[in-house]
Structure 1
Amino acid sequence: MSRLSGKIAIVTGAGSGIGKATVELFRGEGALVVGADIVGADVDCDAGSDDSIASLVEQVADQYGGLDIFFANAGVSGGLASIFDQTVADWNEILRVNLIGPFLAIKHAAPLMKERGGGSIIATASVAGLRSGAGGPAYSASKAGVISLVKTAAQQLTGSNVRVNAICPGLIETGMTEFVYERARAKGQEGRLGHLNPLKRGGEPGEIAAAALFLASDESSYVNGHALVVDGGLSSSHPVNSQTYGRTAI
């Protein structure tokens, strides 16, 4: 039986990468899915715009009769410039999309889900929101904010049966990380991608989509206010040499 049969879902950042993979997986599991992005998806949408998200949610609810799942996945990197090289404008835009975007998803989707007896809201955070070293300062701060947001929102939605969770991906090959992969391949160092995690590899968009499917489905019915880390084990430790502390390299 399909795990999302009869469910109505919205996925932002659906034009490529994790969002595109999630749309395909959700549809394969029986959901009616509207993919939204600036370009390249079913619906053009600015994930950090109040008017745009309000309109998207209203349109989907009116056309299909409700909303059960919202995956607030859209995000921007902002590069790796230091705190001292970034501008206020840089921070405003990164926070607008990465943190205000999930806030807007919760604000506009949760009331409709509550009317239907419950639902699942998922936001893309990052291991960069757990500790430094995995992203630029504004990006990292925005993702830490997402982790805090889902915990706060879960509490504020007490009694609604609307669950709010986050996914914290590690290094995943997407449009956002394309420059990292291209640079490694150009130097013949592709095998070093993801070498700091115990699995010794980067992840694929489909692996994050699978985590989103779990959080969207009834299989995670008792998971709420949680940040699910999907990073090959990277954040289980501070990065160290394999010889340190008696580790065995197999």
Structure 2
Amino acid sequence: MRFTDKSIIVTGAGSGIGRAAALLFASEGGRVVVADKTDCADETAHLITQAGGTAKAIRIDAGLEEDVIRTIALACDSFGGLDVMFANAGISGGMANLFDTDVALITEVLRVNLIGPFLAIKHAAPRIAERGKGAIVLTASVAGIRSGAGSPAYSASKAGVINLAAVSAQQLTGSNVRVNAICPGLTETGMTKPVFDYAREANKMDRVGRLNPLHRGAQPEELAKVALFLASDDASYVNGQAIAVDGGLSSSHPVTRQEYGKTAA
């Protein structure tokens, strides 16, 4: 019960990693503001209360400053302050290449994926600092580490999130507020649902995640558990870091790998 009576905000909590994290935070005693752009926020909050936890749902656009301020106010008014902000909301922006990406698309992806976490830090950090200590966790991506895992717009936005975590940790020196990011690899969420659905229908699940050493994609709970670790006192000396949770995908440059247990030709 690492989060007993802690006040926690999770954005993008209507599904995927956000929903898994909200449920886990609540199961460990946290009081959770479940924020999402859809009414799936209400479904997540209902799941939490049904299980005996405490949750408030709110519909927001994570890239709008007034909505971020409103969400933090709800947590403070409902739960007496703020201890943890998990800025998880994001969009993919599709898979357009550099030359097919127009300015409107990349602007929108950056607004949600990068300006959203910036706003979360800007407005949550002072309230968390009032509690004496706490944590901010951002969702970046392996696409932000190097090319090959996302479109130019998405990859650039997530690279920005990784740097934002490092810069914010430095600028919060003395506040006792830690800022870290998780970098998911291929994970079964609403964003990647078409990939997993197609693989199942075509009986090609063995090809999902085949480029990482574990030869599989991740489930949202596997990412959520790392986010909870970073938000907890278990990670009290982890700050300004971006943790890849990708089955080992980013541990190597592209190579032709020898399979485990097989003799090289």
2:154 paired residue number: 139
Write out aligned runs for 1:53-202 (5 A): 53-202=68-217
Tell me the amino acid that sits aligned with residue 5 of structure 1.
Answer: T
| 1:231 to 2:246 alignment | yes
Q: What's the offset of the Cα at 1:150?
A: 0.5
SS in structure 1 of the partner of residue 76 of structure 2: helix
1: CA distance between counterparts of 2:73 and 2:35?
14
2: CA distance between counterparts of 1:248 and 1:217?
36
Q: CA RMSD in A?
A: 1.0
2: CA distance between counterparts of 1:69 and 1:154?
14
Q: What's the offset of the Cα at 1:4?
A: 1.0
Tell me the amino acid that sits aligned with residue 136 of structure 2.
Answer: I
Tell me the amino acid that sits aligned with residue 56 of structure 1.
Answer: T
1: CA distance between counterparts of 2:78 and 2:7?
11
2: CA distance between counterparts of 1:197 and 1:143?
20
Gap change, CA 1:249 and 1:242, over 3 Å in 2? farther
2:4 paired residue number: 5
Q: What's the offset of the Cα at 1:56?
A: 0.9
Q: What's the offset of the Cα at 1:116?
A: 1.1
2: CA distance between counterparts of 1:94 and 1:249?
43
Mapped contact 1:242–1:249 kept (Cα < 8 A): no
2: CA distance between counterparts of 1:43 and 1:111?
21
1: CA distance between counterparts of 2:69 and 2:176?
21
Mapped contact 1:122–1:167 kept (Cα < 8 A): yes
Mapped contact 1:38–1:45 kept (Cα < 8 A): yes
1:213 paired residue number: 228
Q: What's the offset of the Cα at 1:249?
A: 4.6
Q: What's the offset of the Cα at 1:35?
A: 0.7
SS in structure 1 of the partner of residue 63 of structure 2: coil
Write out aligned runs for 1:6-25 (5 A): 6-25=5-24
Tell me the amino acid that sits aligned with residue 173 of structure 2.
Answer: T
SS in structure 1 of the partner of residue 99 of structure 2: coil
SS in structure 1 of the partner of residue 98 of structure 2: coil
SS in structure 2 of the partner of residue 229 of structure 1: strand
TM-score by length of 1: 0.96
CA distances 1:74-122 after superposition (whole Å, capped 9, x unpaired): 0000111101101100001100110001001000000011111121000
Unaligned 5+ residue runs, structure 1? Answer: none
SS in structure 2 of the partner of residue 74 of structure 1: coil
Q: What's the offset of the Cα at 1:248?
A: 4.2
2: CA distance between counterparts of 1:90 and 1:249?
45
SS in structure 1 of the partner of residue 227 of structure 2: helix
Unaligned 5+ residue runs, structure 2? Answer: 42-56
Tell me the amino acid that sits aligned with residue 30 of structure 2.
Answer: A
Mapped contact 1:83–1:137 kept (Cα < 8 A): yes
1: CA distance between counterparts of 2:199 and 2:83?
40
1: CA distance between counterparts of 2:141 and 2:66?
26
Name segments (4+ residues, structure 1) moved above 3 Å.
247-250
CA distances 1:109-152 after superposition (whole Å, capped 9, x unpaired): 00011111121000000000001010111000000000000000
TM-score by length of 2: 0.91
1:48 paired residue number: 63
Q: What's the offset of the Cα at 1:179?
A: 1.5
